[in-house]
Amino acid sequence: MGPEGDLRCAAANDVEKQNEMRTADVKVDDKTLAAWEIISVISSVLIVAWTIVPLAGESRLVGAVPIALAFALMIQSHRARGESLRDLGFRTDNFFRAIRLLILPMVIGALLLLFAGRIAQALGFGASERMRSVWWIILGGFAWGLLQQYALQGFIHRRLYIIYGRGARTTFLVALIFAGLHAPNFALMAATFASGLVWAYVYERAPNLWALGLSHSTMSWIVIATLPDSIITGLRVGYKYFM
Amino acid sequence: MSGLTPRKGLVRLLLIKSFADLFFVLALAVSFSFRTFEPRFRGNVDEADALHVAGWAINAADPSSRVEVHLYIDGRFIANTRTGRSRPDVVAAKRIKEAQSGFEFRLPPLDPGEHEARVYVVHRSADNARLTLQLLGRPITFRVGENPVENGSRGGSEVRGGQ
């Protein structure tokens, strides 16, 4: 083989090496990939909670950027993993099963909150001005609850399945992440940890996001209506908590 | 291999999102810094004695504007004023093009001893939500003597520090 042949051979080796590197780029372990996805979505929420308000005021347009990125990621992730809306929990066949699982912890939680509110003499049932709007409670509250449950259960919980499988550890981690995202509002962190455990437990047995969204918005309203603002500090989290 | 493309797309999207998050936060921080702590103020405190503190200041972003300055002596607010005094010496030194950049504070009677003067330029953020003070030059130390007559002349005060 002459010098030309050697050159051709070397060029072919280079192309082969480059292809190997490209293949290696996407050879990310599935568990690592799932962990990266979770961290990425959490980081978007943290950016909104901790950097938008101090650095850009309360600009909704700026705040929409990390949220849009997170949604783009979640949607692409569902496509890449072949997950349907039904897989995520947007379904109706198990709605009543999910409600049956939710009803007892919700009643217990509501009674505890009523008791705590009575002690704190804070039963307001609409103390907040915006809570007086029925449409805000029904539509805004439900949409907000559904959105959070989709991100928490339909995405984070499902990615934790990939890493740890189903079980108590995953349920615990879902609740821990949910509580962590409500830092530094300690009262809300405690409430979201407890409710996060229940919602993750129910999602594992009856993955229905409609029921969980309903439960989320109902419990949020009960928390606002029963506990004094000095404890829940307007449900503010992140940097806003200090304002 | 059919599952490789969306998966590869996901890895790419994760990489892009990570960089986008990083640049987004960086852009927010830099934009906030520019809006809140205008970096284009120039100036100096040239003189300080028992009777007055003087210097010059401009906002390079808007050289013709009058800059608001605050005087603090030993950490206590004393007075505020705006630039507007002629400073041909600073223009001659080619440090600025705007002649009306000087300021001067007349001081109230101060206790004998050593004092530190700090002059801050005032910056209001675009929406007036934040008002920030930025130190002009360096703090300048001066001495006030026991003798009021001596304090009446510049020679009676010792100036240290400044640029």
Give me the pLDDT at residue B38, please.
82
Residue A234 has pLDDT above 90, yes or no: no
Domains in chain B: how many in total? 2
Nearest to B7 among A26, A44, A66 (CB): A26
Is A85 domain-assigned? no
Q: Find the closest chain B residue to A45 by CA distance.
A: B21
Give me the pLDDT at residue B155, please.
36
| In a shared domain, residues B29 and B52 | no
Q: Measured between CB atoms, does B27 come within 8 Å of chain A?
A: no
pLDDT band at B130 (very low <50, low <70, confident <90, very high): confident
Is A53 domain-assigned? no
Q: What is the mean pLDDT of residues A7-23?
A: 50
Residue B162 has pLDDT above 60, yes or no: no
Q: Find the closest chain B residue to A54 by CA distance.
A: B32
CB B71 within 8 A of CB B79: yes
Residue A210 has pLDDT above 50, yes or no: yes
The alpha-carbon gap from A33 to the nearest alpha carbon of chain B, in Å, equals 8
The alpha-carbon gap from B49 to the nearest alpha carbon of chain A, in Å, equals 40
Cβ contact (<8 Å) for A25 and B11?
A: yes
CA distances from A69 to A62, B12, B20, B131 (A): 12, 13, 8, 33
The alpha-carbon gap from A2 to the nearest alpha carbon of chain B, in Å, equals 38
Q: What is the mean pLDDT of residues B83-112?
A: 86
pLDDT band at A10 (very low <50, low <70, confident <90, very high): low
Mean pLDDT for chain A overall: 86
| In a shared domain, residues B85 and B138 | yes
Q: What is the mean pLDDT of residues A96-103?
A: 97
Give me the pLDDT at residue A131, please.
54
How many C-beta atoms surround the C-beta of residue B120 within 10 A? 19
Nearest to B13 among A55, A66, A72 (CB): A72
- Taking only residues 90 to 109 of chain B, the set having a beta carbon closer than 8 angstroms to any beta carbon of chain A reads none
Chain B residues close to A70, C-beta within 8 Å: 17
pLDDT band at A185 (very low <50, low <70, confident <90, very high): very high
pLDDT band at B63 (very low <50, low <70, confident <90, very high): confident
Residue B13 has pLDDT above 80, yes or no: yes
| In a shared domain, residues B87 and B128 | yes
Give me the pLDDT at residue A124, please.
59
| Higher pLDDT, residue A164 or A119 | A164
Structural domain boundaries enclosing B5: 1-36
- DSSP-derived letter for residue B67 is P
Q: Measured between CB atoms, does B22 come within 8 Å of chain A?
A: no
- Taking only residues 109 to 138 of chain B, the set having a beta carbon closer than 8 angstroms to any beta carbon of chain A reads 127, 129
Is A13 domain-assigned? no
Q: Which helix (H) or strand (E) holds B83?
A: none
A5-30 exposure pattern, b = at least 16 Cβ within 10 A, e = fewer? eeeeeeeeeeeeeeeeeeeeeeebee
| Higher pLDDT, residue A189 or A116 | A189
Please classify residue B20 by burial: count the beta carbons closer than 10 Å to its beta carbon, then call 0-12 exposed, 13-18 middle and 19+ buried: middle
Is A35 domain-assigned? no
Residue A217 has pLDDT above 60, yes or no: yes
What is residue A58's three-state secondary structure? coil
Most B CBs within 10 Å, among A22, A29, A69, to test the B interface: A69
pLDDT band at B66 (very low <50, low <70, confident <90, very high): very high
CA distances from A212 to A107, A207, B1 (A): 14, 9, 36
Cβ contact (<8 Å) for A79 and B6?
A: yes
Domains in chain A: how many in total? 1
Residue A181 has pLDDT above 80, yes or no: yes
pLDDT digits (tens, 9 = 90+) for B16-29: 999 999 999 999 99
Structural domain boundaries enclosing A97: 90-242
Q: Provide the CATH number for the domain around residue B78.
A: 2.60.40.10
Is A25 domain-assigned? no
How many C-beta atoms surround the C-beta of residue B33 within 10 A? 12
Give me the pLDDT at residue B39, please.
83
Q: What is the mean pLDDT of residues B101-108?
A: 94
Is A94 domain-assigned? yes
The alpha-carbon gap from B19 to the nearest alpha carbon of chain A, in Å, equals 11
Nearest to A66 among B4, B21, B31 (CB): B21
Cβ contact (<8 Å) for A76 and B13?
A: yes
Contacting residues for B32 by C-beta, under 8 A, at least 6 apart: A54, A55, A56
Q: What angle do CA A154, A52, A180 make, to 5 degrees?
A: 45
Residue A36 has pLDDT above 50, yes or no: yes
Q: What is the pTM of this model?
A: 0.77
Give me the pLDDT at residue A81, please.
92
Is A208 domain-assigned? yes
pLDDT band at B75 (very low <50, low <70, confident <90, very high): very high
| In a shared domain, residues B58 and B82 | yes
Q: What is the mean pLDDT of residues B46-73?
A: 92
Please classify residue B57 by burial: count the beta carbons closer than 10 Å to its beta carbon, then call 0-12 exposed, 13-18 middle and 19+ buried: buried
| In a shared domain, residues B91 and B114 | yes
Is A32 domain-assigned? no
